[in-house]
Structure 1
């Protein structure tokens, strides 16, 4: 199918909309779900035509391979509505490309671009009234693919399901976070699936994060899998460190997700004249910078939170408090990105897509 797919997508609308029950002024993140979802099945060696149906539970055989071998990938993106009621996406093709990078790594059949893009546009057109206009809110979009094929044999499935579900959402994090630099557990390893948005990557994070929370922290700063000498990610986000006036972030590799917000921050910061260094960042460098006062900021970056400032980091039993700044990079960079996303400013990068 080609781009004409849009007019061919079957749409079955719900007879019982839930939208009147939603308080759009008090939205939590990812817990209220819109009326419809896009579904698409892979069977007999091909992706079948997607369709939009009412949001509903799905039925799976107990032997479905998702339950046994974890073939599951997903994306996270948002739809935004401006003051005129127009709807926008932010770099959606990057999400599509990354979904297929994840699919290839987990031996899942790759999706045609039209199925993703035109399917998403159709779904958003059906549920456009679910896109909130409250300050800081947006429609969170979760495309995901998982193995629905049956069997206990340890091999790739012969059937898969692609779904896009959406959730009107408020802010992911409120305020600054306190993090613990991890010294024992690893998020991923060389040659592994850390660069893919695989469900198992996140499941493996939960236990070490629970241990950090029990110590009074909100999140974990992940370090390399070898000697835990270099910082790599912040919880489920990429991480940035400001030392003096330079903005540092780790290079992507097998272990680090190629974050779309991360890439956007790098480009905006460079345009702003900020010195950006994409290089390995040692824990020792960060600790020494905290001790000598050259460490100005640390923040996580991802689709859900956009930018999440870090107020304190802990390492080897000591907490280091970051300074309060009037001219912090985190606030200005977040404003630049969100102004583009919500159509409040020009988009010199061509990232904003109007529906």
Structure 2
């Protein structure tokens, strides 16, 4: 057994600040002194910078990632009862946005290799009521977009991309979030591109959708007191936009650090009888999470408890698939409907990767190997 212990948090939000304290202090103080706390110039500046980064025409910031999903669905003009296909192995936000707007979430299973929804998963769930698909690029890995887009075009279905965990990831050399009608993201502090609170954005190449998204996020206004739609009030604070501009400049460097750490995990754990993160040839995987797959829920829970005893924090993504959540019980899904997702919920464990030092990672790898050596 390793005879050393290093405290390894799963995520250390304060580290992001302490590593860039001088620059961030100056950014925050400038916004505070200028006094333009709502829709200050930093918001438009950040939107333009992110649009350049993604190579899209329009970025529309908003209050958070769930708002971004709601705004995207609202902009597409769907009607109550229309069906939207969403992966069941995922955080609830996508399905929640669908249901909140009076649409019907139709769940689909995922690939056991990269945990993403596939064209085959989607095709099995298409009906004459299907109007959209939300493709969630999970953990930083790209879903295989080409066959999904082909299928969507055949059935005249909108594609929304959720890149909350995958901003900066790529598919065949192009940034994720730019393939569908609308891309959505969150800037929650644990994301690849993170602010110091809540924030989100939608992005599109379509001028009409961009105009509609801007109005919907601002009470449906075309101009002050001229309301074209019933909208919402969803804004990115000036302070968060200023911080995000600073973080965006470092995004690719930070992603490369995550990729290097993931490769070290792969190498350090390769002798173990576990599943490790798969990198498809078509994707630049940004590893917002680094996940391993254990043989059983019992083994997963034992490893998690063992690592906690060593002061190493881990996370379970996700403990229950969306189709079995009480919130969606009225839809009539049952255990066994989506076996891959249900199995993953019992066997996936996320290891620390954000802001991780080599010393800390070596400790994690050593203790995981020790757990299996003594199992």
Shorter-normalised TM range: under 0.3
Structure with the larger RCO, 1 or 2 (CA within 8 Å, 6+ apart): 2
The structure in which a higher percent of residues are helix is 2
Q: Tell me the TM-score normalized by structure 2.
A: 0.23
Higher strand share: 1
